[in-house]
Structure 1
Amino acid sequence: MSESPAVLVLRQSLQKCFHTVQQQQEVWQQALTDCKPLLSSLSNLAEQMQACQKVTFAHTPLRSFPDLEEQLKYKQRCAAEILLEELGGKVADLQKVRDAVSGYVGTVFQLYEQNADVLGFQASVQRSALNPSLADMLEWLHDIERYYRHVYLEIKLLLLQIRYENLPDMQTLPQSWDRILEHNSRNIVQDTLLKVSFSETL
């Protein structure tokens, strides 16, 4: 039985949305990858800053350079600021992905709601061996949007907690970052895109 025009329009909209998700997922993964060395550098710098705090320069041969301690701390702080700025740029890329996906998913759901009465319940849940139902795909998109939202929020909260007064926490940034990603290790985006790739019409 051929599908109604409303079903076909919604399937086309879903197709475009999943294609966009695939493109955005590449941006997302690249941003996550780019964050890793920045976090590692911040961790190493925090270790150096903490070591510097433990040294009493007046009791070392460096005491003949009275401005050295202040200059060193200033350089370390500037280096940290540069790293944080670069990291902020990568996190902004994650935010753009979250917002872009949220916008496309919202458009699809709006289209579905506008045509829900025409589509009917049966057309929404009908599936075959090669085609997921409209309801399945809408649920997948909802899960994808929630995944991006959740991971971005956790990353954002982690970075907001960075304080120069708390260098031990800054040193453990890579481990805290890994915990966030491990906690969300089941990448629902990749899983869904794989399922969609086996669909006959998407």
Structure 2
Amino acid sequence: MKKITQLPTQIEFQDIEEVVSLLETQIPVTIREQIANYNIEDLNFGIAASYNDSVLEYNSANRKIKKAMIVQYSSIIMDASLDTFLKVIPIEKWGQYLSGWKEGEVKEIPAETNMDLKYQAERMVLGLGNDMTKAEVIKKTDSTASVFWRVYHSDNNSTLSDIGKLEIISLGKTKIKVIFHSAHDLKFYGLIRIPKYFVHSGLKQTFLKHLRNYKKIVTGSKIK
């Protein structure tokens, strides 16, 4: 079992929500239109889009720069309530239910300020040599459950930057929408930066697999 080798500091948790919120405001018009034009059948199957963006992220402790990153947006609709989803997939263990998850560890981090939020560190080892440790902020309301994350360490240097969120939104008593929205800068097995073309395609397929795996686990319906 791969353990967390480096715990986060408060800097890693700082402004995760704000940076992810900027991702949402900076979605290009063409991508917004693409997402808006999907029909219910598409959303039941799962949709994904990707684009290039400059993301204000940490380059070193206390220093942020605008980094050229690839952003993906993916979502799926499920016939389940928010409560049902969270009983089957506890939001604190969201990473362990991702498609291709191999091993990892989660540690709760005591909150120093906002007691309404939950803080944790999570190391997750996925396929293709992706090994990352994330600072995560968990937020719940009556109609949503969210995890905001920032990768602050990668034991094999496979992840240079990775920040985003998982959000589960109630659409009524028996339906939810699950969304991943995140920005990435990746290396192949920690060796070379992956060309953008392959990252675009790979991110969309990867997050669609995550969403469809969630749907299969929660509803029992496998998407072919």
Identify the structure with the greater helix proportion.
Answer: 1
- TM-score normalised by the chain length of structure 2: 0.22
Larger Rg: 1
Which one has more relative contact order, counting CA pairs under 8 Å at least 6 apart? Answer: 1
Identify the structure with the greater strand proportion.
Answer: 2
